[in-house]
Amino acid sequence: MNELNIDLTKQKFTDGIQIFKDDHVSLKHKNFIFARNGSGKSTFASLLKEQCSPNLDVRVFAGFDTVLGENEKLNAFSLSINAGENELAIKQKETEIQAKQNELKRVTSEIDDSDIHNLKAKKAAAEAAVQKNNTAIDKFYSDSAAYIKKRTQPQISKTTYNKSDFKKEISHAAALQEIDVTQLKKTLETEELFVNTVEWKHVNYSAYLKSTNEILKSKVEEKNRIKRLQNNQQRINFAEEGMRIHKHQSGEICAFCGNAISEETFQELESYFSADEVAVLRNRIVEGKKKVSQLSSLIISMKWTQAAFYPEYQETAGNIWDDLVAHKKIILSFCDALEDALESKEKKFI
């Protein structure tokens, strides 16, 4: 037989360091290898079998435990290849079989009607427990609904309140603070309230301002100039007031000078004060004052009463009303300014 070259580089420790010092070793026809325990003899034998087995019949003796198997059932040893490994596998399987048999015994006992602890009995007991709990829950619903329904002074539920109502409301249950309880009691004691709607209409305030400014800027020329009035506003106002307090008939006595007022004088003044431009401007002033006055009246008429709201809404309603009051003051001040300007123009619009 030719020499065998065994590669020793393939055997390494886990950290990568080579086990054997040499990279290879050559074997003769007969070789004796001896060394201390743990020096690598078994490792070398395994390496030899691994590299030569494809071409050579390599047998490695690793002690009698690998060839002798103990048969506990026969109380004897059997000689065979890998006997020890086979016996170990047999014991493992027997352990598994025993576990399966125990499981089968347990399941069989549970479905056995003669056993009071079987699955059927457990199922019946569970169903009975569920029914008992359902009955207790249903009683709790009924008792709770009855308790709520009977509460008076104040009445806290409708007269037809029942367990169905309670079941619907229980998901909304929450612990209340003492202040909440007090407020809710006041609400329950309050008679049904109706609050008038406070309607805040949209108003184009810019249009009011623009219209008023246009009136203030307007000016008319006299069609029939009366010299004695001298285009003096005080004289014009005096004559206009005279036209208002005297009867428009010939011979009417003037309250100022005591003379009779001629029909021509009445006609002259009527023509003067009824001139188209004058009448139009006067009407615009009157109409402007009317619209501003209506706006003021609308704002002033907006009122509220705190007691008209349920207790839990009074504070919120009060805050909203305070904001409205602030707006009301601004608008009324705006209206007052427009009215003052129009009245001033009315007195001296020519």
Q: Give per-residue pLDDT as tens, 91-142.
A: 888 889 988 988 888 777 767 666 666 777 788 889 999 999 999 999 999 9
Query: Which of 288, 243, 245, 286 minimizes the C-alpha distance to 267?
Result: 243
**In degrees rounded to 5, what are phi and psi of residue 256?**
-95, -55
- The pLDDT, as a whole number, for residue 349 is 53
Q: Quick one: pLDDT band at residue 59, thresholds 50, 70, 90? A: confident
**Structure confidence at residue 61 as a pLDDT band (50, 70, 90):** confident
Helices (H), the chain: 41-52, 83-110, 119-150, 163-169, 178-189, 205-217, 233-245, 263-273, 276-301, 311-347
Mean pLDDT, the chain, rounded, equals: 79
What is the average pLDDT across 8-20? 68
Distance of CA 165 to the CA centre of its chain: 26
pLDDT of residue 67: 53
Q: Which two tokens stand for residue 101?
A: 């048999």
* pTM for the model: 0.37
